[in-house]
Amino acid sequence: MSISKKEIKSIIVGFRFEKAFRISDVMGEMFDKILHDSSSPFSTEFFPRFEERGSLDKSLINTDFDHFFRITTSDIIFKYSIPEDCDDIEKEFKWFKDDACAFINDQIIKSYKIRNLMRAGIMFGHEIEAENVGGIVLERMTRDTDEPINDADQFALRFGKKDSTIEGMTKLGVDDFMNKISIIQQSDSNHYEISYDFQYHFNPHCHNISDWNYEPFVSKSMASLENYFYKTISPLIESPVEAK
């Protein structure tokens, strides 16, 4: 069992910033812009419902297609679920980067002067149907022990790898870094959710997003799927027969 872009079910982009209670005063205006502004790639059809979890946590949602746009006083998160009949994942990637992410960056974060960003992240969620993936991974991890494990019906694995950034290497007083997190989670007896969380951490916090170019970050996250994530995960979850 290998994994590739065709198993992607959702993409989530999120920004975390220092808590700013003033955001609660403009949440309604932000949602109006998301739904009605001419620059927005969204609409009332894209997000037909509104959900409120208290005055500081509000979302636009689409339960039929499993999309949401959430705004709190410390987070902005957009989840886009890939259509079931998708036959061109690259087209979906292009819309997500050039339309959705660009709008969030320019018309929400910049326009409303959201400051002191702590982290930006993009998560690619996959789903595969396979038997005993957890057991296969565990067998590889325990094969050299006295009692190797070769099955699992409740399995979860999470690991990360830090990488340096150009900003962290070239700017005085900046120690920004990337964190690439891989997650394998069993959802039922023969289904597994496999996620790749590509994060950019600002150290110190990014006061103004205009000082940071989001486009290379989004492009790198997508390229890293092929260059790192799939090359790491596929050999880990493939059956012993496939590996031969």
CA–CA distance, 127 with 114 (Å, rounded to integer): 34
**Cβ count within 10 A of residue 179:** 15
Q: What is the DSSP letter of 171?
A: S
Q: What is the pLDDT of residue 98?
A: 96
- The mean pLDDT of the chain is 93
User: What pLDDT band is residue 141 in, cutting at 50, 70 and 90?
Assistant: confident
Beta bridge partners, 184, equal: 157, 194
Q: Containing domain of residue 111, as a range?
A: 5-243
Please give the model's pTM, rounded to 2 decimal places: 0.94
Considering its fold, how many domains does the chain have in total? 1
In the predicted model, is pLDDT for residue 14 greater than 70?
yes
